[in-house]
Chain A
Amino acid sequence: MSLLKHAKQYLANQSKYAHLNAFVSLAEPSKLLSRGETSTSDHVKTRFHDVTDKPIAIKDNICTKDLKTTASTGILKGFTSPYDATVVKLLQDAGAVVAGKTNMDEFGMGSHSTHSHAGPVKMYRHTADEEKSAGGSSGGSALAVASAQCWAALGTDTGGSVRLPAAYTGVVGFKPSYGLLSRWGVVAYANSLDTVGILGKNVGDVGAVFDKLNAYDPQDPTSLPPSTRARLEKDSTRSSTPLRIGIPLDYNITTLQPAVRQAWLRTLRFLWEQGHSLHPVRLPATQHALSAYYILAPAEASSNLAKYDGVRYGSRAEGIDGTPESVLFAKTRGQGFGPEVQRRILLGAFTLSAQAIDNYFIQAQKVRRVVQQDFNNVFSTQNPLVEGTSESAEEVDKVDVIVCPTAPTPAPSLANVKDQDPISAYMNDVFTVPASLAGLPAISIPVQITPEDQTAEHADYAFDESVGIQVIGQYGDDKLVLEVADAVAKVAPTCQAQAGPTVTSWGASTLEENNSTV
């Protein structure tokens, strides 16, 4: 298949799967096609994991000059950024084409990509009534990759926003170490946690995008400086086989669905068969990590979102806003933000208030530190950002990476999600949040569920279903995490993993007309 044919297929899929609501804006088709025409067909094979001329979707909270950047919020309705985010620029410099901007939870706040000003993202795979969650907040990006509407996609991961949708939609989702990829031009949700992430159908593609983006950016004050990068490079030259794989016992919770547990066990067995050794590890702070996250992230969000007032850009409420005694945007903010965003702003404003900061924000920061120490205690490599050694546990118990599920369940149905109270929705992030709090590299890889593993709910349809298995590494061990992810990807790959744009992550052929479900 030539590059031009691929380009046409991606475009066809974009119309075919438009009802999934994965995109909020699409690039001109001509932009994609013109690249296909100038390239020769053999490029496709020789440059398999190469971003050149590939259509890459960008989450709508990453700034682009050519397409609107709304972060799926009403207050940025119609907003066009005057500049490109560094990650967008790097991709374009590498020859990639921006395929469009993807739908998401408003400002990245949500786990199902339903809190969007552009309407919810909906995952239909085999039947018209199957309305599943694509995960969030990068649900649009994940589903765009899963439904072959683009070659790869950028998302952002604050507490699991790339890994969770990757797990639900059956694609690979990678959150690199905090500070490796530039956040200049990424609309901030909780900037001490926000990380640009990459979604792709296989680990190779994700790695190729990562290589293009992994560069110091002086525009981002939290970008890892070249000196530290050089140090990381030196540290990661150690030989990596066989690996010591950690099994976090604290992640084996009672609400873990059997299908997920089975996939986890299959993965561990597979890795053991490959000659790696398995070691139980304890991460006791995990149980507090989620609470800490839902204090810290809203606190930062309440601060970061204070800038949206419709004064300099963005939408304003109809009519006159403000009184001589008040600011000129009370009504605008009241109307521009959706309910979940308002909830988190209020939560954050509360936990930072003079009366509550000691018991909430400060405590949560302490928990965050403990979570990081938990990880440092089990990893065999020293956290390069922490000075001094913490030789608390014996060397024997230390591991190279941790392998665990990405989410406790496969993709839930949107009907169930709708009935959930916000706290239950927050529970989806229980396995992804610890790595975010510690700033560690983590990746979710789809592992197919065998028919035996499927629960009654899924057994009704005989289709490919996968769950996400997560690999977490020590800070800066991104290459190792990608390597292990490559091994995990061989446990039970999706049909899409090594295919062109003619197959979806759930194994449907995009060429079949009658496959269109709605």
Chain B
Amino acid sequence: MIRTLLAAVLALTLASGLARAEAVGDILDTNKALVEHASRLTIGPVIDKLAASGDPRAETLLKAWGDKLLGLRKSDGAFVLLKRKGAAYQLTQPDGTDVGMAKRSDINILRPNAGVRRLIDGALVEFQLSSPDLKTRTEALSIIDHHPEAGQLKPLEASLKAETDPALRARKERLLRLLTIRFGENSAKRIAAINSFGADTGLDLRGTLNPLLDTHRIIAKAGEKPKGNIDRPLIPGKTITTEAAYDLLVARGEAPARQTPTARRQALEAHIEGGKVGGIPLAQLSDPEARDRAYAALEKAGQVPRAATTREVRAAVAAHDYWVVYAEADPAMTTAAKAALAKIAVKVDAMQALDLLLEALSLASIYFLAAIGLALTFGVMGVINMAHGEFIMMGAYTGYVVQQIIPNYTLSLIVALPLAFAVTFAAGVAMERLVVRHLYKRPLETLLATFGVSIALQQLAKNIFGTQARPLTSPDWLDGAWVLNDVVSISYIRIAIFVLGLVFLCLFLWVMKRTRLGLELRAVTQNPGMAASMGINPDRINMLAFGLGSGIAGSAGVALGLYAKVTSELGQDYIVQSFMTVVVGGVGNIWGTLAGAALIGSLQKGIEWLNPSNTLAAQTYMILFIILFIQVRPRGIIALKGRAAGD
């Protein structure tokens, strides 16, 4: 009795176990044809059934299928899971029973296409969400991120409680709310989910909200209000062009197409009879009105298809009303989405302003870096040096050469900065001794002579390094960008340029205010005769100051070379802007140069923001602005006053 009872219990357990185990196999067998020739359009229910079967083998099976490791044995047509063993495969039945080895030729491997595989991955997500492996869970989340579906909502919610990793848990919560916005049961839940985000600037949220506001245009009889969630009416001639409205009618097949001038012309050409079309002589057809009459005549004779005339178009358009209607049926949803997007837009605008400010700051520091050497030679000494740009270029090429010798980018940068300073310092001193010294009394001619040096140096660089751009590679720690959020980010190299600009500013101030050289330099520029009688050698001071200005240009060249490519025209690109910076800021004052760089940098970025497609136009307008600015403040933003101003 007990034995029979035990046997019965055992049988029952086995049976129920078997019943469950057979489930996936059964499902496969009953839908054999569908599975064998799986298509994205028809396979969905089968995959759902497999996923919902509750069979613990379902995950393994789906995974094998997706990985092209599910096949049909040719001998009996049974489904088998495959495992590669050398040249052959080890076969397992869907329930996990081992059924021995088989050759490749004995099996029909199922190869689901990309669409089907995506469905399989989607079904697998729910298993992966609760997987003990952190990586699998992360992957599952990114699948949901990219291909959100209604079916993921429940498993995601279920997996949330058991999630142990705090970062992943936060991500799951966020995804759950996003999924709720898309697929939530009722509007109340969805709206609550929308409102829970507030003014979140994430791209994923905007990507979820925007489709809610998808609209399409519909046509209704004049005076009738269409059903559906209406956004706004379209008034022909005001919010929609008459042509566009008519094209809507044509698309609905409610009106004949308008004719293009080319089509009309071809129709007329096809019906030339004895030098006339529709009774009108060819010679008159250079007049559009005559063409109209000719076509009308042909139309009347039934020789050409009827085409809408302008008047017919107008009448047809007037007989209908045009509306923009949301695809989303619930007005409460669209209102909530609109409000949320408006809130986000305000925040994004603020972020963009911040980003713009950072970019302007970075551009300003580039201009400042390019101009700081000039602030000394042109600003303080009053010597115009057109070869300044070529000193920048020289510094950049020095950096390039150093990188060829020292392969370590960090080390080479550390070596290049002072070396570039030394090289251009020497070049500056040489130029001052040989050329500029003789022309202190003839400033316009300094411009010309230094320009001669500039074209010679530029061509020399071309002859030595070739015309193609040379790379100056930044070290790894300068790659990448400092990302604040989806809107605000700034590359490290720009931060480095900003820092370098600050360093040079401090160096300049220190030299001018705290050293003997600076004191003597200020004395010489204010009154060379008096300075000379105080025992200062103006010749030596001028030489050193010119060298210092050139040296700073050279070091700046290394930084600018990192930011842009090194070519022989590198300096030329900056020279006009550099002079502008000094002139706008006010000659003779480093703070003026700083202010000038800030003004020019932010102005250019501001104009670019107004017209983002066109940086060339931005530069044009900026230069025009500067020309006008000089009208208002001819001596620059920070003008020297009194004795120091000279004349």
A and B co-occur in one complex: no
